[in-house]
Amino acid sequence: MIVDKVKITIKAGNGGNGAVSFRREKYVAAGGPDGGNGGNGGDILFQADPDLRTLVDFRFTRKFTAGNGENGGRRNMAGKDGEDLIIKVPEGTVIIDEQTGRVVADLHSGTPRVILKGGRGGKGNAKFTTPTRQTPRFALPGRKTLARKVILELKSIADVGLVGFPSVGKSTLLSVVSAAKPKIADYHFTTLSPNLGVVGTGESSFVMADLPGLIEGASQGAGLGHDFLRHIERTRMILHVVDASGVEGRDPLEDYAKIRKELEAYSPELAERKEIVAAAKMDLPGAEVGYEWLKDELEPKGIAVYPISAATQQGVRELLSAITRQLQDLPPVRQIEEEGVIEEWETMSSEQSFELSRGMDGVAEVNGSLIDSIFARIDPEDPDSMRHFAKLLEDLGIIKALREFGVQDGQEVRLNGETFDFVE
């Protein structure tokens, strides 16, 4: 089974909480604040690994979590940062945020890429000391991160993509022209995941991909369907391998036409990609006839046909020389436009909200995720913390919303069930 598209859950580490602490020192009010900051949560990073070929490992592990930051401590001790988590994937893996559908990264190099940032550590009470606030008894909690689902989709990166029906000799050709060792046998679908090989031609080289065999109806998902077509999307040119011998009772021209139909149905852009046809298995009886059919049909349309036999290496050198010449005039491998790192925390943001309503006794009530975040930041028993609380209500538009809701100076309001006096 080819595994080149999976859905996994990733979660960056939570930030550690800031500490509320006071040192014991003579002549310093309340001993002096010395609560340290919390550590930052670990990031989620992805790294392209050239030794990986499929996403099969993600069939068994689908949840990945980075380390949490530690809480701050006494004596201005900062919490330890959480450990980053690096997830290795094959080159050519595209990461898509399921929630938004945007492409987060298209991984090509071996440099780890940050995909989901860890939560920032909260500030300790030592950071809130001012000339008029000598003994702050509150600190900020660390940012709590949210888990996100991402789709990993492997799109092979190659200069030349081998296409054709199963068992036409694609794997054999790759094994002859490169150091790749694809599985080869006399039955269909031996290639179930892409095999890439570097083909050297004198002073230059290129990457060739042996892709799973294509069948009729693939553009509608038959057989390996889209799993196959996904890999050819980014190749610079197509090497269409056709069994010229008709040894299985197939018509080479019909085979060619069926494969072309599937490519065009899947992507008109893909169908316009530069193409060379290799008339394969020329060492078998009847292959000369099939080659002549292909040549007479395709060369008037500007499509070159090269007779080859991977088994005897007949015509292989000429084919590689033609591919090298064509690649010199073609644009580089297409990369997908990225939209950057996912950044989302369980904290006050534009996506969080609050709702106003009236209780059974007529008292205005304010509830919602934004109010939850505010309450996580305060100590109701500390006057300085409550002044900070009042400022947050003003800055985030909650005071203005209460005025517009008809709340008057001196009236009671309830925030998350806690009763407060509304004071202008």
Q: Could you read off the pLDDT tens digit of each residue along the chain, which spans 424 residues? A: 445 789 999 999 999 999 988 887 666 655 678 899 999 999 999 999 988 877 888 988 999 999 999 999 988 999 999 999 999 998 888 898 888 788 888 888 778 999 998 988 988 888 877 776 777 877 878 888 889 999 998 876 678 888 888 778 888 888 888 865 655 544 444 444 567 777 887 767 888 877 665 544 433 443 343 455 666 777 889 999 999 998 777 889 998 998 888 788 777 777 788 999 999 999 998 899 999 999 999 999 999 999 999 889 999 999 999 999 999 888 876 666 676 677 655 544 445 678 889 888 888 999 887 887 777 666 666 665 677 678 778 878 889 999 999 988 888 998 877 788 888 7
Please answer whether residues 125 and 136 qualify as being in contact, where contact means their C-beta atoms are separated by less than 8 angstroms: yes
Torsions phi, psi for 252 (to 5 deg): -55, -40
Rounded distance between C-alpha atoms, residue 253 and residue 247, angstroms:
14
Rounded distance between C-alpha atoms, residue 50 and residue 47, angstroms:
10
Answer whether 0.75 is exceeded by the pTM. no
Q: 277 forms bridges with which residues in the sheet?
A: 240, 305
Rounded distance between C-alpha atoms, residue 84 and residue 97, angstroms:
20
Positive or negative, the CA dihedral 253, 256, 262, 264 is: negative
- What residue has token string 């109010």? 371
H-state helical runs in 164-210 = 170-177
Looking at the chain, the number of H-run helices and the number of E-run strands are 9, 20
Please answer whether residues 176 and 191 qualify as being in contact, where contact means their C-beta atoms are separated by less than 8 angstroms: no
Per-residue model confidence (pLDDT) at position 190 = 44
Rounded distance between C-alpha atoms, residue 147 and residue 51, angstroms:
28
H or E element at residue 415: strand 412-415
| Residue type for position 277 | V
Per-residue model confidence (pLDDT) at position 389 = 79
Q: How many CB atoms lie within 10 A of CB 351?
A: 8
Lay out the sheet containing 113-116: strands in order across: 85-90, 44-49, 113-116
Q: 90 forms bridges with which residues in the sheet?
A: 49
Query: CB neighbours of 101 closer than 8 A, spacing ≥ 6?
Result: none
Per-residue model confidence (pLDDT) at position 216 = 47
Long-range contacts: 21-28, Cβ < 8 Å, 24+?
Answer: 21/73, 21/74, 21/75, 21/124, 21/125, 21/126, 22/135, 23/74, 23/75
Torsions phi, psi for 345 (to 5 deg): -125, 155
- What residue has token string 């005039």? 329
Please answer whether residues 72 and 38 qualify as being in contact, where contact means their C-beta atoms are separated by less than 8 angstroms: yes
Rounded distance between C-alpha atoms, residue 174 and residue 99, angstroms:
39
Nearest by Cα to 152 from 93, 88, 228, 224: 93
Rounded distance between C-alpha atoms, residue 413 and residue 395, angstroms:
18
The SS3 of residue 321 is helix
Nearest by Cα to 99 from 390, 307, 339: 339
